[in-house]
Structure 1
Amino acid sequence: MSRSSQQSSTQHSESHHSESHHSESRHAQARLVNPGATIGMVGGGQLGRMFAMAAASMGYRVVVFCESSDTPAAQVAHHTVVGKLDDETAVESFASMCDVITLEFENIPAATMERCADHAPTYPAHRVLEIAQDRLLEKSTLAGAGLRVTPFVEVSNNESLLAASETLGWPMVVKTARDGYDGKGQYKISSADELGQVDWSSASSWIAEQWMPFDIEVSVVVAISSNGESTTFPVFENQHRNHILDVSVTPASITEALATRAREVATRAAQTLGVVGLLCVEFFVVGDDVVINEVAPRPHNSGHLTIEACHTSQFEQHVRAVCGLPLGSTTLRCPFAAMSNLLGDVWLDDQDQLVTPRWNDAISIPAIALHLYGKHHPQRSRKMGHLTTLGQTRDEVIERVTAARAKLSP
């Protein structure tokens, strides 16, 4: 496993062309999908919702394929195809309506995206999903390209985990290789005495990663168009609570040189995977370098603040990328921006009884933008919406957005 640093030969700029060897055949097949056409969105969550809203504002029709007619994305789509995502008849019905197809969550069945591609250009390709859905394959692929990832070993039981400690040391983070997110399916194991914590029967494949002391966590959203153009958004600095993103702020509190490096490494990762659309790369900042933690081939929670903060939001950029349009400017409209997640906890009191958040109090604070996702059943730790603000200083935006959120609760 390589831990070497990326040696970039590409001069960073806001927009440049992909040099991936995957890109030649893919871009040769690309075609411009103009406003007025129909975009298919596989998945009905909040990322699909915000994508559909951005697409509609640009004159596109959006057809959502999901398992309920009242999902966040279905509420704002022009049309919804309801069915199991692996139902071949439903896939055919959906894909036949579309001029181009994309997705909002990487755990869509790869076979579904492969079938969609028989009807319309489909981004990202099913091969990208096959990699992104398996942490072992993802990390092996990125490490094989010379990108620095958290050191890892495949494990399957207590014996193999104990053996992994000889390479990775203690503590380790043990994760399911597939399907985990927001801390689900993860265990921090600090010594051999804690091996019994892992429920090996709950998943078929596992990965152990070295516990990586880091300075801060940051993320970069990369856009690569079907025509080969690419660009990155400013670096987001992320604070988590209980493994769930709590607050994001941009620009991140890192040097300009390190921010440039993070953007270059993220672009290289997207090129390595052959992504068309968006890829978010989550990094640990360790000294004067960045280490890839995870990637997601879609818009990302940390990028929600781009709706207000950037000349082009991550969702509009997603539309532009899959439709082969020129990518938009990712520069900030204001020196700083911050976002805070709104979880279902805001709607629940100490006895888990529903309460009405104090919306008036929160949005009475100047320069606060409210986004709710249309979810009807608040649950603790469930993402229900977010708040965003812009300002002149880092402290100003963080204090304002967290103060507004605090005013929501009784």
Structure 2
Amino acid sequence: NNGNTLYCPPIGHRQERGDYQESWQPMSMEDAHLKTSQEMADKVTKALGGSGMWGVEFFIGKDGVYFSELSPRPHDTGMVTLAGTQNFTEFELHARAILGIPVMNIPLVRNGASAVVLADTENTEFPNIIGLEEAAKFRNTDFKVFGKPTTRQYRRMAVALSYGPESTDELVKKAKEVASKIKVD
């Protein structure tokens, strides 16, 4: 934003096999850890240069903050922003930065969570996505089907979203329940 670095409210996530399974926003963090994370993110993104949404991942351990990875684009764990957790999704923020459209701040609007829908097997034919009607019955939820033309084991095919005043733990459970209704055939 005009050379200034803005920060989304922290997003937490859980991984399996090195891939994100669930994410939630906000991620509760100690103020000192948040400040350190933002300082590290600012240094690395400014050193790399350019405009856009940067997904900067950290691990928080007993001894402090550890840099994990950086994506010079929206990050998969940030799909939780599609649940309306902040004033702009990560995709809107990326487009606005590239187009030079101002963003004054990025406040948390509501709590949210996401859970992935994975393929079980490899298939070179366009998959059928089933269970959408059941998944749509849940209140304060949504899902996004990616429309990928083929599958392989553990390939992310969709994401389930939940939002509301509940705790992020409760919202993760709800997103996982919605995701469990969606099957890739």
> 1:256, 1:391 → 2: CA distance?
24
Structure 1: segments with no counterpart, 5+ residues: 1-224
- 1:247 lines up with 2:12 in the alignment: no
> 2:25, 2:133 → 1: CA distance?
26
Q: Check the 8 A contact 2:117/2:183 in 1, yes or no.
A: no
Q: Check the 8 A contact 1:277/1:322 in 2, yes or no.
A: yes
- The residue number in structure 1 matching 2:171 is 397
> 2:108, 2:63 → 1: CA distance?
24
Q: Check the 8 A contact 1:238/1:246 in 2, yes or no.
A: yes
- Identify the match of residue 285 of structure 1 among 31, 37, 60: 60
* Pairing of 1:39-50 with structure 2 (within 5 A): none
> 1:323, 1:355 → 2: CA distance?
36
The number of residue pairs the alignment matches comes to 178
SS of the residue corresponding to residue 88 of structure 2 reads: coil
Question: Which residue type is aligned with residue 384 of structure 1?
Answer: M
- The residue number in structure 2 matching 1:375 is 148
Say which structure, 1 or 2, has more relative contact order (CA 8 Å, 6+ apart): 2
SS of the residue corresponding to residue 130 of structure 2 reads: coil
> 1:288, 1:363 → 2: CA distance?
43
Q: Check the 8 A contact 1:317/1:328 in 2, yes or no.
A: no
- The residue number in structure 2 matching 1:311 is 87
- The residue number in structure 1 matching 2:45 is 270
- 1:257 lines up with 2:32 in the alignment: yes
SS of the residue corresponding to residue 238 of structure 1 reads: strand
> 1:372, 1:409 → 2: CA distance?
11
Q: C-alpha displacement at 1:384, in angstroms?
A: 1.5
Question: Which residue type is aligned with residue 357 of structure 1?
Answer: I
> 2:160, 2:29 → 1: CA distance?
24
SS of the residue corresponding to residue 304 of structure 1 reads: helix
Q: C-alpha displacement at 1:364, in angstroms?
A: 0.7
> 1:256, 1:342 → 2: CA distance?
33
Q: Check the 8 A contact 2:160/2:175 in 1, yes or no.
A: yes
- Identify the match of residue 324 of structure 1 among 81, 88, 100: 100
Q: Check the 8 A contact 2:117/2:182 in 1, yes or no.
A: no
- The residue number in structure 2 matching 1:104 is none
Q: C-alpha displacement at 1:328, in angstroms?
A: 4.9
Question: Which residue type is aligned with residue 109 of structure 2?
Answer: R
- The residue number in structure 2 matching 1:295 is 70
Structure 2: segments with no counterpart, 5+ residues: none
Alpha-carbon deviations, 1:114-144, whole Å to 9, x = none?
xxxxxxxxxxxxxxxxxxxxxxxxxxxxxxx
RMSD (CA atoms): 2.1
Percent sequence identity over aligned pairs: 25
Q: Check the 8 A contact 1:230/1:327 in 2, yes or no.
A: no
> 2:12, 2:18 → 1: CA distance?
15
- 1:233 lines up with 2:8 in the alignment: yes
The list of structure 1 runs, each at least 4 consecutive aligned residues, that deviate by more than 3 angstroms after superposition, is: none
Q: C-alpha displacement at 1:367, in angstroms?
A: 1.1
Q: C-alpha displacement at 1:378, in angstroms?
A: 2.4
- 1:406 lines up with 2:175 in the alignment: no
* Pairing of 1:5-20 with structure 2 (within 5 A): none
- The residue number in structure 2 matching 1:384 is 157
Q: C-alpha displacement at 1:321, in angstroms?
A: 0.8
Indicate how the Cα distance of structure 1 residues 405 and 297 shifts in structure 2: closer, same or farther if over 3 A, else same.
Answer: same
> 1:303, 1:328 → 2: CA distance?
19
> 1:366, 1:263 → 2: CA distance?
34
* Pairing of 1:139-158 with structure 2 (within 5 A): none
Question: Which residue type is aligned with residue 101 of structure 2?
Answer: L
Q: Check the 8 A contact 1:344/1:380 in 2, yes or no.
A: yes
Whichever of the two has the greater Rg, that structure is 1
TM-score normalised over the length of structure 1:
0.41
TM-score normalised over the length of structure 2:
0.86
Indicate how the Cα distance of structure 1 residues 356 and 294 shifts in structure 2: closer, same or farther if over 3 A, else same.
Answer: closer
SS of the residue corresponding to residue 179 of structure 2 reads: helix
SS of the residue corresponding to residue 371 of structure 1 reads: strand
> 2:136, 2:163 → 1: CA distance?
14
- The residue number in structure 2 matching 1:90 is none
